[in-house]
A and B are shown apart, each in its own frame.
Chain A
Amino acid sequence: MSAFPNPSAVQTKSVPTWRQQDAKPFVQIEQITKQFGQFTAVNSVSLDIYRNELFCLLGGSGSGKSTLLRMLAGFEEPTSGRILIDGVDMTGIPPWERPVNMMFQSYALFPHLSVEANVAFGLKREGIKSPEVNKRVAEILNMVQLGHLAKRKPHMLSGGQRQRVALARALVKRPKLLLLDEPLGALDKKLREETQFELMRLQDELGITFVVVTHDQEEAMTLATRIGVMNNGEIVQTAEPHEVYEYPKSRFVAEFIGNVNLFDGTVVEDERDSVSIQSPDLDALLQVDHGISCAPNQEVSVAIRPEKIYISREPVDIEVNGATGIISDVAYMGSQSVFKVRLASGKELRITQPNVSREMGSRLTWEDKVYLSWDADSCVVLMS
């Protein structure tokens, strides 16, 4: 894709821009608030997005992620705060003058125009001469493998084809920033996976900065360079995907992304390199060994991911970071099994285990008494 400028896509691979100290953000969102009457959709959000990022805004419905995206596109003006794109203040700049294009969740293809005319629409508005328009339209349609359908109307296309037209229509203008609203929402599972990789490839090739809005944590995990988790109009955590999963900052993030077992407890011992926490749900102490600072007697939650708990019928040391229980439920899911284990306190834990063996005989089953244990560095202490 020589037609697209691609200045720094490759060299930033080694050290991501957002981890560099003096990197200049490409999109700066400064203290943005959006109110609809009494309702605050977006509450004082600040966010920096860097060039060539594929940034995911992840949140449930009503979390404000779509409103934030619409403010980037210029469909909504923020009540207060401002947005800078490539250093330019976007306040008061209408959508048709912004260096931004958006791919809509419903695709919003113009039903009365052919695929070709849909894609050419944006170029014609720029006043580009028609030979150049035709060339660029053909080029982008070939890239998304729709060259043979150029004359069709949108209603004659399948869902996946429409989605690619929408993508082509947004990309053909070579925007500095591409916004995607739930880009994979309407596709079936197989097509989603293909498109996910397609998007990542495009982003790599074209060097456009992507901002993706999604409610699907799996989508965010696979696509994103970084994820901004939104809740109630605020960004509650911004981090790389593995960080959001392994080191969630709050109960909300831990529970929203993936499954998690949570213990409420009190800090009983705070040493230099570990913290001990007593939970009423657990006989043993919880010991966490990585850097957190908290005061004795502080109320905290401890999160442990289901796949980080070892489960076994054989007795193991459970004096710290362990428990015994009875298997109350088993779900066989092919590559892994999910167990629910009821502890003496009545609390149920969720544990997943890869199905390493094909034999059914040795497998754990209902009513088995099991020993659970986990490593001290598997626990995350959550203050909020």
Chain B
Amino acid sequence: MMSETTIDKKTRRFAWRLSELRLGRAAVILVPMLWLAAFFFIPFLVVFKISLAEAVIAIPPYSPLLQWDSSSAYLTFKINFGNYLYLFESRFYLDAYLSSLKIAAISTFFALLIGFPIAYLIARSGPTKRIILLALVILPFWTSFLLRVYAWMVLLRKDGLVNDVLMAIGIIDQPLQILQTEFAVYLGIVYTYLPFMILPLYTSLEKMDLNLIDAAQDLGAKPYQSFFLITLPLAKTGIIAGCLLVFIPAVGEYVIPALLGGSDTLMIGRVLWDEFFQNRDWPMASAVAVMMLIVLVGPIMYVRNSNKEVE
């Protein structure tokens, strides 16, 4: 017979193990949580706080939220919503947001259009060829991003390689203005973010059972039908992940429009930069940044929910 105390001991030991397990799990989650808090949430709060201040000529160049006036013994707590109101009042910011979203969306579309066949090819290659192709996709990351954008500037110049080749072939007889156009911005964004599209697409395509294509064809599906009815729906998670990975950073992109785009290419990243460094209006720049985050939260939440449905 088992005495009550032993049972009690056993349950207690079990409970202790369980709590130990929970502690371990908590520790695992805690590290990324701390990382997020330190490098995302706290900086975001700082930016948010600044966005509610007023620009002043001082160091730092914004007014404090709390102010103690010792002569009158007033503690003033001042919140300025003017920056946010101005965001909506001024056509300029709205245009910048819309233009950014448009450029990001079109770039994402072309990245998908170009990335899908590449990912498909890699996923269907033999094991050795696959490793080489994947390495080629990742290889550009070994060079600085800035350097690669400068390289594009050299290529796209009026006396650059692209124009030289086009003229040599005889397609054009006057050098084209490619640099400082919206086209150059699209080119730069698609080029830069293509690996982020290819890798998730590759992962989802590589997981696919090739027998499914055989089965579809066996049941009477022509190759284009088996692609649209089987391959594409099964690559859905990869497509969503790839599009997000391209779209989100593309919206806030600064370097590419600044270096490759012309003065008429309006993107929110550039507006932000100008507010910050040209106008030294930190509160306005912060408001622009906060609003950008809010704009991006929408599509992210949508995708998260649709992903849950898939599962």
Contact = CB atoms under 8 A, between A and B. Distances in A.
B31 interface: no
B219 A169 contact: yes
Interface of B is mostly: helix
Interface residues of B, number: 18
B220 A108 contact: no
Interface stretch (B74-82, B207-215, B283-291): B207-215
Interface string A337-381: 000000000000000000000000000000000000000000000
B125 interface: no
Nearest to B229: A121
B226 to A, nearest CB: 8
A96 B221 contact: yes
A121 B229 CA distance: 10
A247 interface: no
A95 B214 contact: yes
A253 B142 CA distance: 60
Interface stretch (A98-106, A279-287, A315-323): A98-106
A204 to B, nearest CB: 24
Nearest to B208: A111
Contacts of A96: 217-222
B215 A173 contact: no
A90 to B, nearest CB: 14
B233 interface: yes
B230 A95 contact: no
B225 interface: yes
Interface in B222-264: 222, 225, 229-230, 233-234, 236
A254 to B, nearest CB: 34
A141 interface: no
B216 interface: yes
Nearest to B310: A112
Contact of B234 (A75, A111, A125, A169): A111
A104 B214 contact: yes
Given A95-B214, A106-B209, A108-B212, A121 B234 contact: no
Interface in A100-151: 100-102, 104, 106, 108-112, 121-122, 125-126
A111 B216 CA distance: 12
A173 B220 CA distance: 9
A73 interface: yes
A159 B303 CA distance: 32
A258 interface: no
B213 to A, nearest CB: 9
B215 to A, nearest CB: 4
B181 to A, nearest CB: 41
A73 B218 contact: yes
B225 A101 contact: no
Please indicate which of the listed interface residues B214, B215, B221, B234 has the most CB atoms of chain A within 10 Å of its own CB. B215
A74 B221 CA distance: 13
A102 B218 contact: yes
A94 interface: yes
Nearest to A126: B220
Contact of A95 (B212, B217, B229): B217
14 contacts: A74-B217, A95-B214, A95-B218, A96-B220, A96-B222, A102-B214, A108-B212, A121-B219, A122-B219, A122-B220, A125-B220, A125-B221, A169-B219, A173-B219
Interface of A: 73-75, 94-97, 100-102, 104, 106, 108-112, 121-122, 125-126, 169-170, 173
